[in-house]
Structure 1
C-alpha cells in the first residue's frame, strides 16, 4: 500500500486531485442541467398562454414541444448523473474496502511473523532444556543405579 508521504506525491495525492476534479465537473453538470430545466419550464409557462390567431398557436405549440423535449433531455442527463454518482460511490467503497483489507493483511502478516519467531524461540528453549535434562539424567545417581541392577 503506497501512501503519499510528506512530499505530497504518490497515488493518494493523484487520486485526491482526480476526485476533486471529478466532483467539480459533476457539480457543473448538475448546475447546468438544473438551470436548463428551470429555463425551459419558465419558457413553457410563458408560451402556454392562449391566443386567437391559429398560426401563433401552432408556433407556440412547436415551441412548447421543443422546450418540453429539452426538459426531458436535461432530466435524462440528471438521471445519468445520479447513476454515475451511485457507481462512483460503489467503486470508492470498494477502493476503501480494498485498502482496509490490505491493511489487515499486512497486520496479520506481521502477527504471523511474530508468532513464528515466538514459536521458534520456544522450540529452541525446549530443545536446550531437554538437552540439559538429559545431561542431568545421564549423570545422576538414579541412572547409574538402573544401569547396575539389570
Structure 2
C-alpha cells in the first residue's frame, strides 16, 4: 500500500523553502508513517481473514478451547492494530496543526522583518525629504526676503 507522492504538509513553494535537512527529516517521517499504516492495515486484514476462517461453521457444534483462544487473540490483535491507526491519525492531525502554526509563525516573522525594513527605509527617505524641504525653504526665504518685489510691496510701508 505504498502511497507515493502523498505529502504530510504543504511545502513552501515561494520564498524561503525548508532547508535540506528539514526536507530530509520530513521525507523520513513520511516514510515511517506510511510503513506504520501498511503494517497496521496488513495486521487488520490478516487477523480478520484468520477470524473468518476460524469462524466457519463446522460439523461439530462445539468449538474446542484452542480455536476460541485463537479467535480472542486475533480479535485482540485487530483491536491493537485499529488503536495504532487511531493514534497515527491523531499524530498526523497534531503534526498538521503544529507544523501549520510553525510555518505560519515563520511566515509572520518573515513578513514582520520585511515590514520593519520597509519602515526603516521609509523613515530614511522621509528624513531626507524633510532635510531637502528645509534647505529649499531656507533658500526660498532668503530669495524672497532679499527680493525687490518684497521690499516694494510691504503692507506696513504703504500705510506710512
Q: Which category describes the TM-score, using the shorter chain as reference length?
A: 0.7 to 0.9
* 2:93 paired with 1:86: yes
Deviations 1:43-86 (A, max 9, x none): 101111234274x4332122111111110000000000011111
Residue 26 of structure 2 corresponds to which residue in structure 1? 19
* 2:54 paired with 1:43: no
Shift of 1:142: 5.0
2-structure distance, mates of 1:20, 1:50: 47
Normalized against structure 2, the TM-score is what? Answer: 0.77
Residue 104 of structure 1 corresponds to which residue in structure 2? 111
Is this contact kept in 2: 1:33–1:78, CA < 8 A? yes
Residue 131 of structure 2 corresponds to which residue in structure 1? 124
| Stretches of structure 1 lacking an aligned partner (at least 5 in a row) | 5-10
* 2:127 aligned counterpart, secondary structure: helix
Select the residue among 113, 126, 139 that pairs with 2:120.
113
* 2:75 aligned counterpart, secondary structure: helix
| Stretches of structure 2 lacking an aligned partner (at least 5 in a row) | 1-15
Aligned pairs, number: 141
* 2:19 aligned counterpart, secondary structure: helix
* 2:69 paired with 1:62: yes
Q: Which has the higher contact order (CA 8 A, sep 6+)?
A: 2
Normalized against structure 1, the TM-score is what? Answer: 0.82
